[in-house]
């Protein structure tokens, strides 16, 4: 196998046909740790070269559509050209340098791919965020990440402007829009006029690449920092076996571009295999649009949160047979065995599971073609050595409940996060003996299949969103009706789990209508923070259960919700 520092130099002629036929030639081994790696020069530009040499089919690299009938199709050649321009826009016009942080808050627009790859070409660290964020969420992210730049749309630009004066590190603002705005650089026109002459940085595999915000039990979201190895891991043979993508595949991942799942699936996984990334703009989730899109376009593989499949199954569609769909995969939250079976019956396509976190990327899964054990998240994907561990980090025997751990000693595997940025204490807290402790509870059977059980802490996973209770409690506390609250996870037939708030009212609100007050509190939370966090259930209580030191016993409330008390 022909390897170089960048991994994707043309393989010897006798191996090249394997790329084209889709039988992937392993370019790296699972445990390789090359000194240098850069996804843009090593992967994207490799496929550009293949296109130039006529060795890749006509499928675009990126195929974007929206509800208005607009369509963008970019080849790998165009991606290389445009992302080099983006790189020049960031460094030459924006003055950003390798290692600087850029807040990336874009919906599913083609520019998102230009920005991410443009950053990788320059070594600028991108910090993605969902467009559902409100001014306060953005302020927090800009302040703690010390982002020097931000790129967003005109919908969020006013929110950014309302907090920008409190962000001393912020120097440059890029707008993706057809309109201009004072104080903002127009990314679309800059791309048009920028040079496509750019030399990609020779990044080290261990150089930082991206920061993902992720919620925890306490405080505000933490910053999980990843190096270039996150992208390299998608080239490892074991990772390639997960989806077994080939150049002729058209792959659609529905995850919002604010989450690591989108970065992994809609970029690294798909483009490493030379496949087409398919994207529907999808400003609001609508199962009808998903079903129509799967029927209309030649999509061969689809990856989404289990809630998406669940919501489709719960509608009354006359047919769920899709002409080209071959493989479906669910990740981000737990999937029930009966949902897997229902999806197979109605679509004729198997529904596989993957599991991961912002800290870990894809950790385990059912590889395509591997035996599905309904309800299991599959097996560890090398180089991750996943074990079920106790609180001391000792490996537990098969079928014993414990924490999901990833071995980090003696060697931390490629693809695992570097640290929580600027938070050595929280980083150290995740270390447990020789393992990184995910905080997720599970069992592993004798064949190595992992079975998810729940969180060991108070973090809520609602329809694939990781939500920290304090983020919701803080939002509720701003409302005059709330004396105090406790936010916990509660079971839900559609979203798996939802956010539930137990609220103690202030005296002046005690006589108010409870249904009306519930709606008011929900709208309040939606208005001050990203709306996916709002409490779908609210219960008014005279007091909250507390320890003798005054700490709220969320655990007790959660157990009651799940009928465990
Ligand atoms: O319930 P309501 O309708 O009152 O409020 C909803 C939405 O309507 C509202 N909303 C959504 N888009 C909006 C908006 N409001 C204003 N402007 C917009 N553009 O927000 C409330 C919450 O929305 P939601 O997203 O929870 O529910 P929705 O819209 O029904 O979507 C359902 C799902 C399943 C599509 C959505 O929950 C989803 O995308 N979940 C998956 C999240 C995900 O991708 N997770 C992966 C994380 S990465 C990871 O796990 C690591 C794996 C390696």
> Do 349 and 327 form a contact (C-beta atoms < 8 A)?
yes
- 447 CA → ligand 1 middle, Å: 35
Q: Are strands 222-227 and 301-304 parallel, antiparallel or unpaired?
A: unpaired
Which atom of ligand 1 lies nearest, measured to the CA of 531?
20
For residues 407 and 483, what is the distance between their CA atoms, to the nearest angstrom? 44
Residue identifier of the C-alpha nearest atom 43 of ligand 1:
464
- 532 CA → ligand 1 middle, Å: 5
- Confidence (pLDDT) at 242: 98
Best probe residue, ligand 1, of 308, 532, 538 (max atoms within 8 Å of C-beta):
532
Best probe residue, ligand 1, of 262, 464, 492 (max atoms within 8 Å of C-beta):
464
pLDDT at 5 over 80: no
Which atom of ligand 1 lies nearest, measured to the CA of 131?
19
Q: Which residues contact 93 (CB under 8 A, 6 or more apart)?
A: 185, 190, 194
Overall average pLDDT of the 397-406 stretch: 98
- Confidence (pLDDT) at 2: 32
Average pLDDT, the chain: 94
Residue identifier of the C-alpha nearest atom 53 of ligand 1:
356
Best probe residue, ligand 1, of 531, 535, 538 (max atoms within 8 Å of C-beta):
531
pLDDT at 7 over 80: no
Residue identifier of the C-alpha nearest atom 36 of ligand 1:
463
* Residue that has been written with the tokens 């405080």 in this structure: 219
pLDDT at 27 over 90: no
> Percent of the chain having pLDDT more than 70?
95
- Confidence (pLDDT) at 533: 98
- 460 CA → ligand 1 middle, Å: 14
- 362 CA → ligand 1 middle, Å: 21
**Confidence class for position 52, pLDDT limits 50, 70, 90:** very high
**Confidence class for position 23, pLDDT limits 50, 70, 90:** very low
- Confidence (pLDDT) at 509: 98
CA-closest candidate to residue 435, choices 401, 407, 395, 397: 407
> Do 314 and 494 form a contact (C-beta atoms < 8 A)?
yes
- Confidence (pLDDT) at 218: 86
CA-closest candidate to residue 419, choices 269, 261, 227: 227
Overall average pLDDT of the 118-138 stretch: 98
C-alpha triplet 6, 235, 147: angle, nearest 5°: 75
pLDDT at 16 over 70: no
For residues 525 and 67, what is the distance between their CA atoms, to the nearest angstrom? 29
Give how far Cα 472 sits from Cα of 357, 468, 522, Å.
21, 7, 10
pLDDT at 19 over 90: no
pLDDT at 178 over 70: yes
Overall average pLDDT of the 465-492 stretch: 97
- 400 CA → ligand 1 middle, Å: 34
- Confidence (pLDDT) at 24: 42
Which atom of ligand 1 lies nearest, measured to the CA of 361?
53
Query: Per the structure block, which two tokens stand in for 428?
Result: 């150290």
Overall average pLDDT of the 110-119 stretch: 98
Q: Are strands 125-128 and 62-65 parallel, antiparallel or unpaired?
A: unpaired
Task: Tell me the per-residue pLDDT of 231-288, one tens digit each, with 9 for 90 and over.
Answer: 999 999 999 999 999 999 999 999 999 999 999 999 999 999 999 999 999 999 999 9
**Confidence class for position 451, pLDDT limits 50, 70, 90:** very high
> Distance between terminal CA atoms of the chain?
57
Residue identifier of the C-alpha nearest atom 26 of ligand 1:
532
> Do 94 and 142 form a contact (C-beta atoms < 8 A)?
no
- Confidence (pLDDT) at 512: 97
pLDDT at 196 over 50: yes
Best probe residue, ligand 1, of 108, 109, 132, 312 (max atoms within 8 Å of C-beta):
132
- 354 CA → ligand 1 middle, Å: 19
Overall average pLDDT of the 318-338 stretch: 95
Which atom of ligand 1 lies nearest, measured to the CA of 305?
41
Overall average pLDDT of the 30-50 stretch: 96
Q: What is the ipTM of this complex?
A: 0.96
Best probe residue, ligand 1, of 128, 305, 455 (max atoms within 8 Å of C-beta):
305
Q: Where are any strands of DSSP class E within 38-182?
A: 62-65, 71-74, 101-105, 125-128, 149-153, 172-176
Which atom of ligand 1 lies nearest, measured to the CA of 363?
53
- Confidence (pLDDT) at 466: 96
- Confidence (pLDDT) at 564: 83
Best probe residue, ligand 1, of 257, 285, 536 (max atoms within 8 Å of C-beta):
285
For residues 145 and 125, what is the distance between their CA atoms, to the nearest angstrom? 10
Burial degree of 254 (CB within 10 A; 0-12, 13-18, 19+): buried
**Confidence class for position 50, pLDDT limits 50, 70, 90:** very high
Residue identifier of the C-alpha nearest atom 49 of ligand 1:
332
Show the DSSP H helices in 123-210 as ranges: 135-145, 157-163, 187-193
Around ligand 1, the residues with Cβ closer than 6 Å are 132, 255-256, 259-261, 283-285, 305, 307-308, 331-332, 356-358, 361-362, 463-465, 531-532
Residue identifier of the C-alpha nearest atom 23 of ligand 1:
532
CA-closest candidate to residue 270, choices 299, 290, 294, 295: 299
Q: What is the DSSP secondary-structure string of 255-304?
A: S-TTSHHHHIIIIIIHHHTTPEEEEE--SS--HHHHHHHHHHS---EEEE
Which atom of ligand 1 lies nearest, measured to the CA of 256?
44
> Do 359 and 436 form a contact (C-beta atoms < 8 A)?
yes
- 365 CA → ligand 1 middle, Å: 23
Q: Which residues contact 518 (CB under 8 A, 6 or more apart)?
A: 538
């Amino acid at each position: 196998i022909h390897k170089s520092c960048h991994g994707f130099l043309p393989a010897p002629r006798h191996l090249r046909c394997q790329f084209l036929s889709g039988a992937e030639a392993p370019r790296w081994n699972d445990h390789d740790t090359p000194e240098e790696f850069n996804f843009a020069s090593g992967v994207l530009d490799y496929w550009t070269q293949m296109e130039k040499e006529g060795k890749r089919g006509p499928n675009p690299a990126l195929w974007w559509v929206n509800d208005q009938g607009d369509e963008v199709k970019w080849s790998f050649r165009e991606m290389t050209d445009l992302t080099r321009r983006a790189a020049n826009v960031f460094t030459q016009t924006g003055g950003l340098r390798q290692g600087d942080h850029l807040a990336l808050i874009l919906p599913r627009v083609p520019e998102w791919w230009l920005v991410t790859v443009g950053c990788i070409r320059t070594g600028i660290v991108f910090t993605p965020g969902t467009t559902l964020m409100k001014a306060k969420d953005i302020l927090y992210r800009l302040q703690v990440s010390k982002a020097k730049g931000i790129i967003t749309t005109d919908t969020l630009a006013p929110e950014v402007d309302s907090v920008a004066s409190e962000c001393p590190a912020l120097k440059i603002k890029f707008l993706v829009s057809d309109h201009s705005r004072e104080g903002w650089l127009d990314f679309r026109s800059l791309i048009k006029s920028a040079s496509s002459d750019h030399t990609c940085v020779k990044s080290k595999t261990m150089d930082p690449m991206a920061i993902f915000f992720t919620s925890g039990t306490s405080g505000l979201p933490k910053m999980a920092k990843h190096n270039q190895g996150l992208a390299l891991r998608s080239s490892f043979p074991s990772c390639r076996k997960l989806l077994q993508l080939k150049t002729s595949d058209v792959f659609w991942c529905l995850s919002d571009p604010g989450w690591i799942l989108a970065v992994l699936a809609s970029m690294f996984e798909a483009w490493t295999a030379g496949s087409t990334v398919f994207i529907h703009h999808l400003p609001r989730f609508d199962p009808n649009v998903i079903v129509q899109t799967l029927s209309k376009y030649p999509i061969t593989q689809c990856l989404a949160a289990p809630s998406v499949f669940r919501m489709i199954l719960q509608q009354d569609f006359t047919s769920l047979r899709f002409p080209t769909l071959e493989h479906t995969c669910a990740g981000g939250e737990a999937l029930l065995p009966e949902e897997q079976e229902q999806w197979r019956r109605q679509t004729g396509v198997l529904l596989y599971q993957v599991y991961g976190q912002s800290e870990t990327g894809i950790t385990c899964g059912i590889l395509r073609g591997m035996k599905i054990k309904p309800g299991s998240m599959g097996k560890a994907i090398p180089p991750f050595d996943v074990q079920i561990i106790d609180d001391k980090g000792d490996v537990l025997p098969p079928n014993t409940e414990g924490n999901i751990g990833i071995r980090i000693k003696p060697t931390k595997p490629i693809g695992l996060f570097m640290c929580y940025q600027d938070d050595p204490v929280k980083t150290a807290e995740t270390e447990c003996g020789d393992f990184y402790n995910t905080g997720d509870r599970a069992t592993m059977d004798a064949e190595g299949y992992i079975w998810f059980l729940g969180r060991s802490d108070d973090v809520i996973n609602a329809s694939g969103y990781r939500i920290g209770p304090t983020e919701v409690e803080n939002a509720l506390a701003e409302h005059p009706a709330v004396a105090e609250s406790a936010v916990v996870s509660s079971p839900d037939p559609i979203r798996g789990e939802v956010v539930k708030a137990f609220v103690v009212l202030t005296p002046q609100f005690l006589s108010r209508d409870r249904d009306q007050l519930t709606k008011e509190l929900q709208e309040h939370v939606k208005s001050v923070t990203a709306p996916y966090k709002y409490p779908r259930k609210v219960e008014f209580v005279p007091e909250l259960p507390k320890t003798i030191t005054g700490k709220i016993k969320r655990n007790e409330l959660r157990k009651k919700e799940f009928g465990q008390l």
